[in-house]
Structure 1
Amino acid sequence: MIDYKIYIELGNHNCVHKMLSTAFYTEEELEKRGAIYIDTVSLEDNDDTVNGQCLQNTYFVDKYGEPVLDGEGKSNFKYEISKIVKLSKEEKEQFFPPVKTQPSELEKLKLEQEVTAQAVQDLILMMMGGE
């Protein structure tokens, strides 16, 4: 058996944004990064790379039922009073409000073109005595 230590890195609001382990980093490297130790997992002594990769991909799903990040790249968990806590829907909405996208230059030009075309049509109708 090989023991891997599990660490997390936090973002805003103490949200977990990354899981790391001693499968790929030394404890010293993880501590230098400011990562927080949360657990130790023992895996069969077969292939370190395969075990480490499986651990990285499945630890949160196996232990907490969901991956660290959702499909939109938003944290599913926060670190609170030395434990992992699932974010509520309300917390996710508060911490990660929808981002209003700005129209691209092309979209702006298309809108201007539509407005101009409508204004030209209105002007032609007015000149012809229409409404």
Structure 2
Amino acid sequence: MPTITKLYSMKEASQHNTQEDCWVVIDGKVYDVTKYLDDHPGGDDVLLSAAGKNSTEEFEDAGHSKSARELMQDYCIGELDPTPAIPELEIVRKDQPSNLITKLSSKTLQYWAVPATIIGISVVTAILYSRKK
């Protein structure tokens, strides 16, 4: 009978990133290495820095032995869900100003307010100075 593999999203795996609950993702598989932290030859800080993220590159760069790769199977709890997460769409009504317009107008005000103020003060100062002569 085939074994059923549990699928985890990367978002779910990323929530397990502490010393009390430590998961790593390597080659599309999810490993709960919480109980292995104290036994890891490189120290628990290596696993904790890889916790909650895809650490395939770091794992391969470390040059793990065949026995280390076999030991990993004891900690495998599932696979990474290959289905990409679909971002939520933002619904904008036509009678509402879009966020882009609001952002652009605030940036325009931010970048032009200071130079316009400086020019205004310079003009007033020049007029007052010329009247004194």
Would you call these one fold, judging by a TM-score over 0.5? no
Larger radius of gyration: 2
If asked which structure has higher relative contact order (CA below 8 Å, sep 6+), I would say: 2
TM-score, normalised with respect to structure 1: 0.28
**Higher strand content, 1 or 2:** 1
**Higher helix content, 1 or 2:** 2
TM-score, normalised with respect to structure 2: 0.27
